[in-house]
Structure formats: C-alpha cells, structure tokens
C-alpha cells in the first residue's frame, strides 16, 4: 500500500508538517537554510576537531560530536546528563563568533513556518537533553528506522511521543553518492521482528513496495523526514559527509521536543 501523495520533498509549512507526521509525504526541504559560507567554516573547524566514536554501532561508519542518547539509554540517567555540559561546550566552540546557532534556527523554523511549538526535550529531575550532534559519515548507513518508544526499554521522557521525525543540516557532501533514500514503508510492531538481531538494520525484504525518494543533499540544506519511514544513506567508502542532526518527537500536548 502506498501512503505518499507526492514523490517530492515539500516546503516547510504547517500543512506539510502535518502530512509528514501522518506519513503522507516523504519529507520537507529548506534549500540554503544556513548560509554556505557558515557551513564551510563550521566544516573546516569540525575537521580540525577529532570526532568522538560511536562504537556501540558495529555497522555504521560514523563519528560524532555531541552526545547521542541511543548510546547511553541503557545506563543510569545521570550518565547521559553528566556528559551534556562538556558536549555543549565543544559544540559552542565550533560556532564561536559565527553568530548563528543552527539548533535555535531549526526550533524557530519549526514554530514560525511549521506552526508547532518546539523546544529541546527535558527530563524531570535532570534538565535538558542534548540536541544537534554533528556526524561525520563514510560508507553505507543501512536500511533502518529510528523510533524511541520501540527501541528504548527504560522510561525516558523521549519515549513518550506519538511520532518521531528528524532534521538534518548538511555541512559537507560528496559529488555523487551520499544520497539519503527514504522509503514509503512504515515501521510497525508487525515488521519490527524482521530487524537483524543485535543490530540496528533491516533486510530489504521489509519494504512493502519500491516507492522511495533519493535525495542528494547540498551544503546548507535542511531536510526533515519521518524516521518511522525506513531509510538508508548511500555513502561512499572513501568520502566523508558531515551533517548535524537531532530527532523530533511529537509529544502528547501537541508540541515538538528535540533530542540527539
């Protein structure tokens, strides 16, 4: 069964954000969301910083700067929240004197153009989550979904969401390859058991049809999609692709909460 009413990425409006939440469109794009010169300077600074490891994932050749909740969600909450200040400081150093805070820009766009109140997620008794990790990526990000209520077994605030989206801003891309492919197949409790055991990805047999969009991001683009749609990244083994990202959860009060 096909869900999408178009095979194109759409503009950021309240109507389209509603359609994205309902799996009716493949994604949303804002071209030149951040100035290219800003992205190139951030990319230069990031390449001088050593990216941290993301070594809980065996198959994704990815390094990151910032804290990724998935990596720490099985530990005591104090472990994750204990790392945020230091991570935020590293990120703030990257933007230093550039006068743009991309995460705030995304929050403003979600509320001004997207018509949804948005803020960084909070955990009672611990404070704000971290949002806006940078990723340096090589190779193939295999077919997967991201859905905190399914994948996180402990009671964190980010599991109290009815839908999960993501935003990505691209800082360096490669010419040819590096496409993001989003499929018109939705993750469900019925297809979850097809996930490769002890790993994050699914076999292609999970796809219900061939319908997909292939997006070749450009520097400065903002792309939103629903992470409960299966997706993969067709990277190149030798070339690096740098992006910044966080998840976006639709909360029970109708607002959006961000976390990485």
Residue among 5, 4, 9, 20 at smallest CA distance from 256:
20
Burial 41-58 (b: 16+ CB within 10 A, else e): bbbeebeeeebbebeebe
Is residue 70 part of the contact set for ligand AKG (CB under 6 A)? no
Tell me the closest approach of the beta carbon of residue 216 to ligand AKG, in angstroms. Answer: 10
The reply on whether position 180 binds ligand AKG by CB under 6 A is yes
Give yes or no for residue 232 binding Fe ion (CB under 5 A).
Answer: no
222 binding ligand AKG? (CB under 6 A): no
Considering the rule CB under 6 A, would residue 226 count as an interface residue with ligand AKG? no
Taking the complex as a whole, how short is the minimal distance between the CB of residue 227 and Fe ion, in angstroms?
5
Which is nearer to ligand AKG, 72 or 126 (by Cβ)? 72
Residue 146 sits in the site that holds Fe ion (CB under 5 A) = yes
Collapsing DSSP to helix, strand or coil, 166 comes out as strand
Residue 46: partners with Cβ closer than 8 Å, 6 or more residues away: 65, 94, 134, 136, 171, 242
Quick one: which H or E segment has residue 157? none
Q: Judged by CB under 6 A, which of 43, 146, 184, 221 binds ligand AKG? A: 146
Number of CB atoms found within 10 A of residue 140's CB: 17
Q: Which helix (H) or strand (E) element contains residue 57? A: none
53/2 Cα distance (integer angstroms):
38
* Minimum CB–partner distance for residue 250 and Fe ion (Å): 17
In the complex, least distance from residue 181 CB atom to ligand AKG, rounded to whole angstroms: 9
Q: Is 133 in the site for ligand AKG (CB under 6 A)?
A: no
- Token pair in block for residue 254: 């109708």
* Binding interface with Fe ion (CB under 5 A): 146
* Binding interface with ligand AKG (CB under 6 A): 141, 146, 166, 168, 180, 227, 231, 233, 243, 245
């Amino acid at each position: 069964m096909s869900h999408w009413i178009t095979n194109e990425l759409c503009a950021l409006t309240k109507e389209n954000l509603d359609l994205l939440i309902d799996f009716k469109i493949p994604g949303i794009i804002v071209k030149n969301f951040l100035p290219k010169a800003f992205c190139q300077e951030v990319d230069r600074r990031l390449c001088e910083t050593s990216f941290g490891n993301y070594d809980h994932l065996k198959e994704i050749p990815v390094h990151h700067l910032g804290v990724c909740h998935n990596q720490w969600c099985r530990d005591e909450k104090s472990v994750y929240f204990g790392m945020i200040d230091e991570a935020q400081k590293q990120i703030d150093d990257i933007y230093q004197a550039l006068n743009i805070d991309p995460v705030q820009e995304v929050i403003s766009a979600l509320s001004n153009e997207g018509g949804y109140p948005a803020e960084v997620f909070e955990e009672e008794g611990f404070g704000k989550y971290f949002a806006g990790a940078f990723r340096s990526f090589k190779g193939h990000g295999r077919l997967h979904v991201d859905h905190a209520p399914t994948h996180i077994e402990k009671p964190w605030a980010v599991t109290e969401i009815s839908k999960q989206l993501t935003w990505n801003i691209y800082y360096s891309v490669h010419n040819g390859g590096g496409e993001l492919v989003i499929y018109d197949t939705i993750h469900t409790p019925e297809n979850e058991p097809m996930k490769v055991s002890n790993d994050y990805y699914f076999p292609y047999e999970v796809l219900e049809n061939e319908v997909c969009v292939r997006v070749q991001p450009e520097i400065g683009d903002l792309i939103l999609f629903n992470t409960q749609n299966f997706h993969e990244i067709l990277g190149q083994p030798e070339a690096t692709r740098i992006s910044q990202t966080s998840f976006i959860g639709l909360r029970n009060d109708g607002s959006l909460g961000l976390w990485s």
